[in-house]
Amino acid sequence: MTYKAVIFDLDGVITDTAHYHYLAWKKLAEQVGVPFDEVFNERLKGVDRMGSLNLILAQGSATYTEEEKVALATQKNAHYQELISTMSPADLLPGAVEALDSVRQAGLKIGLASVSRNALTVLTSLGITDKFDYIVDASKIARGKPDPEIFLTAAERLGVKPEECIGVEDAVAGVQSIKAAGMYAVGVGDPAVLSQADQVIASLTAFSIADFLN
């Protein structure tokens, strides 16, 4: 297979905004009387905002209207935005810039497939917006991960076939999304957790585009 593009997730791959999401969701969960810890937070990785909110609310006994749910999600996002407002290039994870640059130097296209509607804000703070050929607008994605829509959208806008793409993810739902799209999946994290990935690396410091080109 000749690969023509690499499509990256953002949170947990290029930068660690996962902790900020955790703090924001924990504050909201405590507000609605739902226990929330790091273990439960793992279930939210790769899931969009409303999907994450529904998982949290399902643990409680109260019922909410759609309007109330939207208000809660908006409240969580406002807190999250406060937390990420201080981000800088220092918040890039090890190997991130090198991985992006190596893909560019190899002549492949680069896409971003993050379910975060704050992705562009984060990329701007990190100073790496110009390293991507296409950034998926999560607000225009109807179905979140593990549905393949976001990765298929990225491939289409990059002008390549899904099977010509490598997807890079740190979440189970993300890896499932990549595989459902018909792409090669590189997992970043624990091999036992990301068992559905074609390859698992500890971080982007171990990512080598040369492995896929030879």
Residues catalogued as catalytic = 9, 11
Structure tokens at 132: 């991507």
Asked if residue 27 belongs to a known ligand binding site, the reply is no
104 is in an annotated binding site: no
116 is in an annotated binding site: yes
b/e burial code for range 65-87 (CB count within 10 A of at least 16 → b): eeeeeeebbeebbeebeebbeeb
Structure tokens at 61: 């006994």
Please state the φ and ψ torsions of residue 181, each to the nearest 5 degrees: -80, -10
Q: Is 130 annotated as a binding residue?
A: no
Annotated ligand binding at 169? The verdict is: yes
User: String of b and e for 154-164 (b: at least 16 CB within 10 Å)?
Assistant: bbeebebebeb
163 is in an annotated binding site: no
Residues annotated in a binding site = 9-11, 25, 44-49, 52, 76, 114-118, 145, 169-170
Known binding positions for Mg(2+): 9, 11, 169-170
Question: Binding-site residues for substrate, please?
Answer: 9-11, 25, 44-49, 52, 76, 114-118, 145
